Amino acid sequence: MLGVFFPETILGYSIYPPLMESILITTGINLMVFNEFQSIYTAVNRLFAIFFPIKCNLFFGIKATLTFHILYYLDRIRNLTMEHFDRYRESNFMTFSPKYLAHIGSIVSPDGMFYWGLALLIFPFLINVVTFIRFYYMKKRTSRESEHWKKAKKNMILFLQTVFQDALFSLNVFFALKWQ
Q: Write out pLDDT tens, residues 56-89.
A: 888 888 888 889 889 988 988 898 888 888 878 8
> Is the residue at 180 inside a domain?
no
> Is the residue at 24 inside a domain?
yes
In terms of residue numbers, what domain contains 143? 2-175
pLDDT for 56: 81
> Is the residue at 59 inside a domain?
yes
pLDDT for 177: 55
CA 51 → CA 3, 41, 56, 70, 137, distances in Å?
44, 15, 9, 26, 12
What lies within 8 Å, CB to CB, of 104 at 6+ separation is: 94, 95, 96, 97, 178
What is the pTM for the complete model shown? 0.65
Sorting pLDDT into bands at 50, 70 and 90, what band is 158?
A: confident
pLDDT for 174: 62
> Is the residue at 126 inside a domain?
yes
> Is the residue at 153 inside a domain?
yes
Sorting pLDDT into bands at 50, 70 and 90, what band is 180?
A: very low
Q: What is the dihedral of CA 71, 3, 109, 126, to 10 degrees?
A: 60
Number of domains in the chain: 1
Q: What is the pLDDT of residues 99-154, one digit of tens each?
A: 666 666 665 555 666 777 677 778 878 888 888 888 777 777 766 666 666 777 77
> Is the residue at 116 inside a domain?
yes
pLDDT for 104: 64
Under 8 Å between Cβ of 77 and 53: no
Four-residue CA torsion sign, 75, 120, 158, 31: positive
CA 48 → CA 41, 119, 124, 142, distances in Å?
10, 20, 13, 20
> Is the residue at 161 inside a domain?
yes
Count the neighbouring beta carbons within 10 Å of the beta carbon of residue 78.
Answer: 10
Q: What is the pLDDT of residues 5-53, one digit of tens each?
A: 777 777 777 788 888 888 888 888 778 777 777 778 888 888 888 888 8
